[in-house]
Structure 1
Amino acid sequence: MLTITQAFVVLIIFLLIVEFFKLQKARKQFPPGPAPLPLLGNLVHLKFQFHRDLLMELAKTHGNIYTLWFGWAPVIILNGYQAVKDGMTTHPEDVSGRMVSPFFRAMAKGKGIILASGRSWKQQRRFGIMTLRCLGMGKKGLEYRVQEEASHLVDFFVNLKGRPVDPSFPLFHSISNVICALVFGYHFSDEDKTFHELISATETLFRFAGSFVHQLYEIFPWLVCRLPGPHKKALSCYDVLSSFARKEIRRHVERGIPDEPQDFIDFYLAEMEKSKDGAKPKYDEDNLVYVINDLFLGGSETSSTTLYWGLLYMVVNPDIQEKVQKELDAVLGPSQLICYEDRRKLPYTNAVVHEIQRFSNIVFVGMPRMCVRDTTLLGFPVKKGTIIMPNIASVLYDPEQWETPRQFNPGHFLDKEGNFIPREAFLPFSAGHRVCLGEHLARTELFIFFANLLRAFTFRLPEGVTKINTEPIFGGTLQPHPYSVCAIPR
């Protein structure tokens, strides 16, 4: 006779075997991939981390469209330029949904822009694009804000007089002040206590995203959400951002909506007033809070992290830094205001900025999409509700598209005569209907900030420092290891 413990063990083994065969049957409906295990799916194959190189390695065995399982959830991975481009743009409407995973559902409730889907996403995104254009995106008005912040950043480094500094905070402060001016109508000083709280909350959120505990939360939300851990802190940090957004909304409401809206919140509140008599208002305070969070997070973290990598690459490649400076000196006057349009006269500088984006590849895997209807993906039938994940790293490092994909090489964007050439495989902002709505702002910021810094300073390692770590820290974005530089006035 079996004891109760032995019977329980036999039952568990039996259930696991049943689950295994159920998974083997289910996986036949999807593109091929490594065989999943009960409960864990393919986490063992991924070594319990979502690493860009592992995803590319799996594609060598299973092809450029394959399936990974996270518990019982299948995720179709697109690998390489052709697969990502075709998958995201052949039927862009079909794959325009957003997978609202358990953690992100707990965080943003499926509202806002980045983590929303369906009709609500379309409305909020359309309104966001139109309003940012009204506030100057793509025009000289917004470019002036970028130039102003770039000038403040140059002044910050001038005041250091060549002393070593970790540039992470000043870069984040200056970049985020551009989006803050658009959304809130004012800038933060670098000593503002509230601003430091927002930065700390942002850093915690991005560190948590993609971590092992984050992955566990997505697979076992019913268990992990009841346990203490870093997920609790991450959610509380998002609440810090939401609380600040609500305070700003109240401040705007108390001030009253001006006849001519001055910032994003003004425009949104005016739209709320227009639609309040509808059967189901399209615009409400909750959506506004989450849209503000999306704009602040998306408009601060990505561009500042890219510039953080950019200064690192200039220190590691002083010859490239010198070539940029020679071109800037030859084309621009020492006090001339640098405009985004100047990129056409500065092909090498423009190529270096593009290569910084390509090589740093800070959003190494694109945000997951979801099929909103039955469709066909690279010849495979895919059902509504299936999760699609474009591996952006595999596009930016595709050996069929880039001559030296694993080297920092501005020549990727230059022809034999030294003219700038755009590349189709340059997709750091993703592709299809979910392409980043702040792409133009980010391009403008990166070029103007980078050109201003390189014209004013030569960046070097502090005295006595001979090595610097160029490997990324994995999280919501790929961050450099903290480092210090000396900005030597030219």
Structure 2
Amino acid sequence: MELFWTLILSAIVLGLLLLLLHEHSSQYARMPPGPTPLPFIGNLLQLNSKALHESFMELKEKYGPVMTVHLGPMPLVVLVGFEVVHEALVQQADVFAGRAVPPLIKELTLDFGFVQSNGERWKQLRRFSLSTLRDFGMGRSRIEKWIQEEVKYLTNEFRKTKGSPCEPTPFLSRAVSNVICSIAFGQRFDYQDENFVKLLTLVDDSMHLFSKPITLLYNIFPALIKLIPGHFKKMLLNVNEIKQFTSAIIDKHKATLVSDSPRDFIDSFLIKMKQESKNPDTEFNYDNLSIIILDFLTAGTETTSTTLRYGLLILMKYPHIQEKVHKEIDMVIGRDRAPAMEDRRKMPYADAVFHEIQRFIDLLPLNVLHMTTKDTVFRGYTIPEGTVVVPMLHSVMFEKTKWATPDSFNPGHFLDENGCFKMSSSFMPFSTGKRKCAGEGLAMMELFLFFSTLLQNFSFRPIEDPANISLSPDSKLIIKILRPYKFMAIPR
């Protein structure tokens, strides 16, 4: 009798498992086509773990612009090309507005902040952050003056080198970060401030760690975080040290807060916390504030400073382009006043060069991961709720049907037949749709003012033959990491 009941229970369990597997397989049966995955590892053997976007571009030739690729056991829907990326992120914005949070990020930030959150938390914090940034002048003259002031400090640092070879990363990182610090903390830091230098070292180190292939493995097989914890522990230590820096500043703000007179973003958030103190469902708490400031520092510093560093390298490789920008600056601005945003419309060539730099360097080739918010039908395929989506920015910025010479650096991509600036709908370094980067306005202002002021004051010369300059990044897994280089800033 005991054997009989054991057989019956086994049959029931087996039946339930088969039912679950059938439901799972039928749920994913109508998903986009893609390479056949192997058990456990998925399509990993068919992918370049150091440059996933290159593998996805190759697979697109066989499976089309909408395809399913498995990273380990996890299916990803990969969108390749402007048409499908725009259709998903703009025309079906609500469906594709979810944020897929990789396991490693979840371990480091616990879903706090708004960049890696979803639902009500994302809506409340993003709305507040955008409104507060606008209040403090994002895209307006107040922040423009902060940037103009900061770039004066930067040009002074380059003048101190007296034209001798120097490594630009520390200068550019400190200058760009000071703009973020002015908004978030209400203060800038001296370039030699030990705590400030340590903070930026931690941010830079974190980005390098995040771009290692083992980070991809952590996100595919989260168990490795505990089985091989060394890499993760380094990242966690960095994040905690950055949070210690920001927590000390938050504590100072709390002690000196004047409720009707916010000095910066932190003050505004603390005031909102007081206003919502009796709301049990409020998202305005110290955990969210800490991670928002962390996001400001990492994203706001690394992306813009890397773009500046990459751009100067490109201009040294193509000195004739640098010279044309110099001539336009001399003609429109001259040498006696600081460049201003109002100059931009009178400088079509320089504006085209600065836009082409952003397109060509392809800083975030995969974009930040999205996720479907509900079951949906997209181009005839059924995509279940919670599916990770990769709207590839690389495929948009290098699409052969949208750009005349996508693989070459060509400012003509942003100029019409009369030499006037023209924008392209395929220009989306900050992504598009509801998850578009909240700091786009600030970043574009920084890039124009930093580039134009530096080129007004200096000619940048390489320490090698321009023909030998390599524009290949050191890493291109998540974010492009540029190899260190030196240049000579020659006063004009």
Q: CA deviation at 1:271?
A: 0.2
Aligned to 2:449: 448
SS in structure 1 at match of 2:426: coil
Distance in 2 (alpha carbons) for counterparts of 1:362 and 1:296? 17
**Counterpart residue number, 2:482:** 480
How far the C-alpha of 1:101 sits from its partner, in A, is 1.7
Please say if residues 28 and 384 of structure 2, whose CA atoms lie closer than 8 Å, have aligned partners that are also in contact. Answer: no
CA shift for structure 1 position 487 = 0.7
Q: Distance in 2 between matches of 1:31 and 1:55?
A: 14
Q: Partner of 1:404 in structure 2?
A: 405
- For these two proteins, the number of residue pairs brought into alignment is 471
CA–CA distance in structure 2, aligned partners of residues 274 and 86 of structure 1 = 40
Shift of residue 210 of structure 1?
A: 4.1
Once residues 161 and 323 of structure 2 are traced to their aligned partners in structure 1, the CA distance between those partners, rounded to angstroms, is 22
User: Is the counterpart of residue 293 in structure 1 residue 294 in structure 2?
Assistant: yes
Deviation at 1:343, TM superposition (A): 0.9
Q: Equivalences for 1:219-234 in 2 at 5 Å?
A: 219-234=220-235
CA distance in 1, matches of 2:81, 2:468: 32
Where does residue 424 of structure 2 map in the other structure? 423
- For 1:356 and 1:464, how far apart are their aligned partners in 2? 21
- The SS at the match of 2:181 is helix
Secondary structure (helix, strand or coil) at the match of 1:472 reads coil
Letter in 2 for 1:260: S
Deviation at 1:29, TM superposition (A): 3.2
Partner SS for 1:244:
helix
Deviation at 1:27, TM superposition (A): 5.2
Matches of 1:238 and 1:324 in 2, distance apart? 40
Distance in 1, Cα, partners of 2:432 & 2:377:
17
Match for 1:442: what amino acid? A
Distance in 1 (alpha carbons) for counterparts of 2:468 and 2:124:
49
User: 1:289 is aligned with what amino acid?
Assistant: S
Q: Provide the residue aligned with 1:134 in structure 2.
A: 135
Specify the code of the residue in structure 2 equivalent to 1:486: M
- What's 2:204 paired with? 203
In the other structure, the counterpart of 1:14 is: none
Tell me how far 1:391 sits from its aligned partner: 0.7
Number of the residue aligned with 1:432: 433
- Where 1:238 maps in the other structure, the secondary structure is helix
Report the equivalent of 2:182: 181
Residue 354 of structure 2 corresponds to: 353
Give the letter aligned to residue 479 of structure 1: I
Q: Once the two structures are superposed, what CA deviation does each residue of 1:61-91 show, in whole Å capped at 9, x if it has no partner?
A: 1111111112221110011111111111111
For residue 165 of structure 1, what is the aligned residue in structure 2?
166
User: Using a 3 Å threshold, how does the CA distance of structure 1 residues 312 and 465 change in structure 2: closer, same or farther?
Assistant: closer
> 1:59, 1:66 within 8 Å by CA — same for their partners in 2?
yes
Question: For the residues of structure 2 that align with 1:108 and 1:239, how far apart are their CA atoms?
Answer: 10
Instruction: Note the C-alpha offset of 1:196.
Output: 2.0
* Deviation of 1:464 (Å): 7.6
Determine the structure 1 residue equivalent to 2:89: 88
Q: Following TM superposition, by how much is the alpha carbon of 1:258 offset from its aligned partner in structure 2, in angstroms?
A: 4.9
- Partners of 1:167 and 1:309 lie apart in 2 by 10
What is the CA distance between 1:381 and its match in structure 2?
2.1
> 2:78 is aligned with what amino acid?
I
Shift of 1:226: 3.4
Could you say which residue in structure 1 is the equivalent of 2:111?
110
Task: Give the Å deviation of 1:25.
Answer: 7.1
Distance 1:92 1:466, change over 3 A: closer
| Shift, 1:204, TM fit | 2.2
Q: Map of 1:190-269 to 2, 5 A cutoff? A: 190-269=191-270
| Matched residue type, 1:175 | V
In the alignment, the residues of structure 1 paired with residue 295 and residue 264 of structure 2 have an alpha-carbon distance, to the nearest angstrom, of 16
The alpha-carbon deviation at position 310 of structure 1 amounts to 0.5
**Residue 463 of structure 1: how far off its partner (Å):** 6.4
Does residue 1:55 correspond to 2:43, yes or no? no
What are the residue-to-residue correspondences of 1:303-382 with 2, within 5 Å?
A: 303-382=304-383
TM-fit CA distance, 1:382: 1.5
Q: Residues of 2 paired with 1:445 and 1:94: CA distance? A: 32
Cα pair distance change 1:229/1:297, threshold 3 Å: same
1:414 aligns with 2:418: no
Deviation at 1:467, TM superposition (A): 2.5
Q: 1:100 to 1:348 in 2, by over 3 A?
A: same
Which stretch shows the higher mean deviation, 226-235 or 176-185? 226-235
Quickly say closer, same or farther: Cα 1:237–1:390, change in 2 above 3 A.
same
Percentage identity across paired residues of the two chains: 37
Instruction: Tell me the CA shift for residue 162 of structure 1.
Output: 0.3
Contact 2:208–2:481, Cα closer than 8 Å, also in 1 = no
Provide the rounded CA distance (Å) in 1 between the counterparts of 2:178 and 2:353: 24
What is the letter of the counterpart of residue 483 of structure 1? Answer: Y
Separation (CA, whole Å) in 1 of partners of 2:465 and 2:414: 34
CA contact (8 A) 2:318 2:466 kept: no
| Unmatched tracts of structure 2, length 5 or more | 1-17
Query: Structure 1, residues 383-425: CA drift from partner, whole Å, max 9, x if none?
Result: 1111111110111000010000000000000011110000000
Alignment partners' CA distance in 1, 2:261 and 2:415: 44
Q: Is the 8 A contact 1:207 1:476 kept in 2?
A: no
Q: Whole-Å Cα distance in 2 between the matches of residues 34 and 210 of structure 1?
A: 25
Kindly state the Cα deviation for residue 465 of structure 1 after the two structures are TM-superposed. Answer: 8.3
Is contact 2:100–2:369 with CA below 8 Å preserved after alignment? yes
The alpha carbon displacement at 1:470 in A equals: 1.2
Point out the more displaced range, 469-478 or 159-168.
469-478
User: What is the identity, as a one-letter code, of the residue corresponding to 1:93?
Assistant: D
8 Å contact from structure 1 (residues 41, 70) kept in 2: yes
One-letter amino acid matched to 2:406 = P
User: Counterpart of 1:65?
Assistant: 66
* TM-score after normalising by structure 1: 0.93
Structure 2 CA distance for partners of 1:154 and 1:45, relative to 1, 3 Å: same
Structure 1 gaps of 5+ residues are 1-17
Q: Corresponding residue for 2:391?
A: 390
Answer yes or no: is the 8 Å Cα contact 1:468–1:483 preserved in 2: no
How far apart are residue 280 of structure 1 and its match?
2.1
SS at match of 1:480: coil
> Does the residue aligned with 2:287 lie in a helix, a strand or coil?
helix
For residues 233-265 of structure 1, the C-alpha deviation after alignment (integer angstroms, 9 at most, x for no partner) is: 112111122222211111111123353101000
CA contact (8 A) 1:114 1:294 kept: yes
Residue in 1 that maps onto 2:156: 155
- 1:155 and 1:258 map into 2 onto residues whose CA distance is 37
Match of 1:467 in 2: 468
Q: Deviations over 1:14-41 (max 9, x none)?
A: xxxx9xx999877533100111111111
Q: Give the alignment's Cα RMSD to 1 decimal.
A: 1.8
**Stretch deviating more after TM superposition (123-132 or 378-387):** 378-387
Q: Distance in 2 between matches of 1:375 and 1:216?
A: 29
C-alpha change, 1:465 and 1:405, in structure 2 (3 Å) is closer
